[in-house]
Amino acid sequence: MRLLPIAAVSLTLFACTGAEPGNSQPAQNDEGGRPFRVAVVADFDAPWSMTFLPDGRMLVTEKAGQLILLSADGKTKTPVPGVPPVDSAGQGAFKEIVLAPDFATSKRVYFSYSEAGPGGKGVVLARAILADGASPSLQSVETLFKATPYVSGNGHYSGRIAFAPDGQHLFFTNGERQKFDPAQDPKSTLGKVLRLTLDGKPAGDPGLTAKGFHPAIWSYGHRNLLGIAFDKAGNLWEQEMGPQGGDEVNLVLPGKNYGYPIVSDGDHYDGRDIPDHKTRPEFEAPKVSWNPAISPGGLIVYSGKLFPQWAGDLFIGGLSSEALIRVDVNGTNARKGDQWPMGARIREVEEGPDGAIWLLEDGRNGSQGRLLKLTPAR
């Protein structure tokens, strides 16, 4: 079902009944199984990520390199200059923006973007001061870390950011840039989850560093990591696009090899087989995988009060699946929950201050780039 292209319209979507046997049932309520209403709040040009400021305003990144400050009511969009040049060809984009743990006092934001440089292209981690006021801007921009090596091509940059519960480290994802083998290369950061200090210094898994790995690597054998988030217990969850099928949700553990491209629950796009995870138990297997693909985009661990039945569950945007996907989490285990059709490619998922779930449409391949707010149907 496609949403009507009218701002601020309120709609009700019906739950998909495709939950696997044994899983928690799709959400039901007195309106016949419709778990949320959707309000269209604003429109953007190929938006990529978003984050909330303490006062309810939002920062939204757009693919080509624009940063937009959106008022809390969604009515006013203010461009924020100061973003470094972005190479937005292919899957390149102004990737992610998040508030520093000490944002209330430092006014720092951390962000990632793809750039062209000597020898190819890569993803960059940076931070800046958000100068607020009548003319907001990014100031004192610092480059903290760059993927290594830079390579040719325009795919699989990743570039997601999550701050560790200790407040002293951050985790940064580097995709394998559609080059396959770098995901297993101990000297490359491609196809890896990285741990860094807040200043961007490598602080990877000590066991891997002792074996000669790049000192930022925390886990490896990943493909295109487009979502990463901590739960309340301190577990780190990650989702990534597989090849043809085999999209994954992983529990990220230090020093572990997640197997790509040696194993995957999907296959190469040219039809060549990739052995399944179950054939190589020495590699860390995903907690959940999808075949056919959902093309995951964005990830949150839900902690709000509006949907208490989903506390601690994962929410993932679906691109090719044009869906919002819920993954049922129980401690360190996970299984498929609901998959709701949204009628557009969903690039990003975020939780609002009041517990509403917010989505960004991709703005490409027929989707409009709208910002959507989801609240309980009843």
How far is Cα 192 from Cα 257, in angstroms, rounded to an integer? 9
Q: Which residues touch 274 (CB under 8 Å, ≥6 apart)? A: 243, 246, 261, 262, 263, 264, 266, 267, 268
Cα separation of the two ends of the chain: 20
- Residues found in the chain: 378
Q: Which residues touch 107 (CB under 8 Å, ≥6 apart)? A: 129, 130, 131, 132
Phi then psi for 103, rounded to 5 degrees? -55, -35
Sheet (strand 247-252) strand order: 224-230, 236-241, 247-252, 288-290
How far is Cα 260 from Cα 31, in angstroms, rounded to an integer? 44
Question: Nearest-CA neighbor of 229 among 45, 27, 49, 3?
Answer: 49
Residue 214 annotated as catalytic: no
Q: Which residues touch 376 (CB under 8 Å, ≥6 apart)? A: 29, 35, 36, 37, 306, 307
How far is Cα 172 from Cα 192, in angstroms, rounded to an integer? 9
Q: Which residues touch 293 (CB under 8 Å, ≥6 apart)? A: 241, 242, 244, 245, 246, 247, 266, 320, 321
Give Cα separations from 235 to 56, 146, 330 (angstroms): 27, 25, 11
Q: Of 156, 214, 222, 277, which residue is the catalytic one?
A: 156
Per DSSP, what are the bridge partners of residue 325?
Answer: 316, 339
| DSSP-derived 3-state class of residue 210 | helix
Q: Which residues touch 22 (CB under 8 Å, ≥6 apart)? A: 335
- Token representation of residue 34: 């419709």
Per DSSP, what are the bridge partners of residue 129?
Answer: 108, 139
- Residues acting as catalytic residues: 156
